[in-house]
Amino acid sequence: MHVCNHASHRNPLHCILPPYMLEEIAQNGTPDMQAQASATLAMTKMMTNQRIAAARGEFPAGAAAPKAPSPGKHRYVYTANHGTNLPGTLVRSEGDAPCGDAAVDEAYDGAGATYDLYWDAYQRASIDNANMVINSTVHYSNNYDNAFWNGLQMVYGDGDGQLFNRFTIAIDVMGHELTHGVTQYEANLTYSNQPGALNESMSDVFGSLVKQRSLNQDARSADWIIGEGLFTANVHGVGIRSMKAPGTAYDDPVLGKDPQPDHMSKYVNTVNDNGGVHINSGIPNKAFYLIAYELGGYAWEKAGKIWYVALSDRLNSTSKFQDAANVTHAVAGELYGTNSLEQQAVKNGWAGVGITIGASGSGCLAALISAFRPNASARK
């Protein structure tokens, strides 16, 4: 069984739960858990087909690409009322007071915190950098165990209550998924193998920065857990991934063990999970953590700025880990000076996961080419 990787590598449905986690539940869970996992898999396959149609400009009934209104923040939160029609019934609009529905209000606040990070730290005007409306739908289906970006909007399930809480409970999950939208409009990293793992890692990086900024945490006091609070008390784990210590986030009889490597020597070669996009993302995740920790202070200010410039101006759809290392090292030099503490931290961080700046292979050439990525400025 698969989830969130039925679409083409160019038009994927980006879900927060990796396929192997739901497959473990379908195999190891109670009959109720198995049934819910199977239902989630089936529902996600349906949504994936809609994602492919949206990429062709064929939107489902009632759906449309969010228009660019006047400058500023524009959030709309809908409820699917446990159905599957999107976007659903509008519940809260920009400027409205909290409505008392936790999922609605969390989706509203999470979209706002993500917008604020990108605008305040990087002067990016919403997902597409052109004031795109941020639409979110909550209460999707019944006990749906996932959250996803479908190319147009955010969708959140309520969780099954046995293994997962509502998917709006973790602000970094919302930042993660919305960042898939940013990547879609920028480097558009192909969703397979190393480019796909970079795609997932970018979402983890900026999702974590949304969380850290909302909590006013510096790099050394943050927990670097993705999805804290998402698990119920029945699960042996702290979150779905750890950027600080990939492979240690959970070890549970039903969910299995966190399979993420933290070093290139442990890179997982697999045909599952689109070539391990949720698995091997642990390697660039750990590199970013090491860099942010060495620099100290607020991670979104320096390390995050380096990553944002790389994502928005330098990386391209086929960039691999070595390319990302070379590009971020070059960007750090441009922003903070050659041989600066910041550039040295980038070098050290990548070295910490087994990647040497400027190593042989496609890295150097790809870095040079990606610096002149076509249409980069046209999308600004």
Q: Based on the residue annotation, tell me whether 74 is a catalytic residue of this protein.
A: no
As beta bridge partners, residue 257 has 251
Cα within 13 Å of Cα(317), Cβ side = 10
Q: Which of 200, 278, 294, 329 is catalytic?
A: 278
Whether 115 and 126 have beta carbons less than 8 Å apart is answered as yes
Q: Regarding beta strands 75-79 and 134-138, do their DSSP bridges make them parallel or antiparallel, or are they unpaired? A: parallel
Phi and psi, residue 26, nearest 5°: -65, -20
Cα 193 to Cα 179, 228, 368, distances in angstroms: 19, 26, 21
- Alpha-carbon distance values, 269 to 237, 250, 345 (Å): 25, 21, 28
Catalytic residue among 23, 24, 106, 177: 177
Identify the burial level of 348 via C-beta atoms within 10 angstroms of its C-beta, where 0-12 means exposed, 13-18 middle and 19 or more buried: middle
d(CA 358, CA 350): 11
Question: Please, what's the b/e burial string for 256-290 (b: 16 or more CB within 10 A of its CB; e: otherwise)?
Answer: bebbbbbbeebbbeeebbbbbbbbbbbbbbbbbbb
- The residues pairing with 78 across neighbouring beta strands, listed in sequence order, are 90, 137
Which residue carries 């042989």 as its tokens?
A: 360
6 has catalytic annotation? no
Residues with catalytic roles: 177, 278
